[in-house]
Structure formats: structure tokens, C-alpha cells
Amino acid sequence: MRLLVIEDEKRLSDALCQILREQKYMTDAAYDGVEGEALAESGAYDVIILDVMLPKKNGYDVASSLRKKGVCTPVLMLTALDTVRDKVAGLDHGADDYMTKPFSPEELLARIRALSRRPGEMVTDELCFGDLKFCRSSSALLCNGKEVRLNFKESEIMNLLISRPSMLLSKDDIIVRVWGYDSDAGDSNVEAYISFLRKKLTFIGSEVAIVSVKKQGYRLEDTRC
């Protein structure tokens, strides 16, 4: 899961990112409302942690703008303002939840877990497509009694592909979601990991293939159909 922290207090932002990364969440940071909104518009994040008092554009306006643009990523708003009126304002501007500073790491993580569960969505450890099964907890691909383990980045890419098997994922999408918005990773990194995954699919004898669509991206295809 990838999170975006939009917080202008550098020490607090660093602390939040450290807490989240220790929980194995991929985390990016922005330090003002304009930068944060631009990152959030990419759709690359599962949850956005948004401060209210930000330079350039406040959190209320960022949340409202994202909703108007059709970005439906859950937003957890953070602020030192703790009146009922302030909380209602945050929710009315598009936030999904609201936490006042200071807060405990345990509560923060619990609220993130709750927000990451979409309404009506079943949280499952296993994803299937064609003859292929992907186990998120063990990062394993299984087919016809054979199993192969994936490393961290292979697992992240496969999770993206098998979660949306009919959707094309561009190289830029994969870079942002797996390496991060400010990463130095490029097309060659994506191509290398796609090659690793294809070899592992062949190893377990799966009929599922990672198809490359020129200048558009990658998707899964069941070659038996």
C-alpha cells in the first residue's frame, strides 16, 4: 500500500513517514498544498494524510479540489484545530476521517487500516486470474501445484497487475506506485522486473502472460482464451 503525507512541519512529516515505513507502507511526502495536490492527482496512493494548515494552499482547499477533480482516494485530515466546527469543515470539504494533534501512532495506523478498506470491498490475501494465484502475505505465485516466491518489487508489480487484470498499467504508473514519485527509477527498471516476472510465470507453467501494448503499458492476459 502506498501513502502520501502532506505536512509542512518537516520533523513531524519525517516522523510520520518513519512510522509508516516501519509498517512496510511505501510513503511519499509533500510539504505544501500545491505540491501535495499535484502528487495526489496521480491516483497512485491508497490513503492521503493531509494537514490543514499548509503553505500555498490549505488542506481544506486541497481536499475539496481533489474531490471536484474526481480523485476518490481516502483522505485522513490532521490538524491542531479540535472544535466540532473544524472537524465538520474538514469532512464537508471531502475528508473521510479527522485526527487532532497530538495523536498516538497506534490510532493513526488503525485509522489508515480502516480507510484502506473500500466500502463493500472484501479484504483478501489471495488474488486469482486464469490459472494463476497470487498470495499477498507470502509474495508467492502458484499454478498447478507449483510455487515461486517474488521479491518485494516483483510482488508490488504483480499485485498491481492482478488486481486490475484488464487495465493497462503504464511504465510511469508502475514507477510511481512501486519506486515512488521522486525516485530515479526509469523505464529500464520496469522492463527488467517485468522480464523477471515473465520468467517466473514460465517456471510455474502458467498460461497467464504479461502483455506489452506499445506506448501504452502492460496488462495480464489468459492465453487460453
Residue 102, pLDDT score: 82
Q: Check: CB of residue 221 under 8 Å from CB of residue 211.
A: yes
Alpha-carbon gap, residue 158 to 141, rounded angstroms: 9
Alpha-carbon gap, residue 151 to 40, rounded angstroms: 27
Domains of the chain: 2-115 (3.40.50.2300), 126-222 (1.10.10.10)
Closest Cα partner for 100 from 78, 76, 75, 74? 78
Burial of 161 (0-12, 13-18, 19+ CB in 10 A): buried
Residue 223, pLDDT score: 92
Burial of 37 (0-12, 13-18, 19+ CB in 10 A): buried
Mention every residue, 6+ apart, whose C-beta is less than 8 A from residue 70.
Answer: none
Average pLDDT over residues 6-28: 91
Q: Check: CB of residue 52 under 8 Å from CB of residue 78.
A: yes
Alpha-carbon gap, residue 181 to 44, rounded angstroms: 9
The confidence band for 181, taking pLDDT boundaries of 50, 70 and 90, is low
Share of residues in the chain with pLDDT > 90 (%): 48
What tens digit of pLDDT does each residue of 143-174 get? 999 999 999 899 989 988 998 787 788 898 88
Query: Which position has the grid cell 516476472?
Result: 197
What tens digit of pLDDT does each residue of 80-123 get? 766 667 667 777 788 888 888 888 888 889 889 888 765 544 44
- The one-character DSSP state at 70 is T
> Cα Rg for the chain, rounded, in angstroms?
19
What tens digit of pLDDT does each residue of 36-55 get? 999 998 777 889 999 999 99
Alpha-carbon gap, residue 171 to 97, rounded angstroms: 32
Cα–Cα distances (Å) from 110 to 11, 31, 103, 107, 119, in that order, read: 22, 24, 12, 5, 16
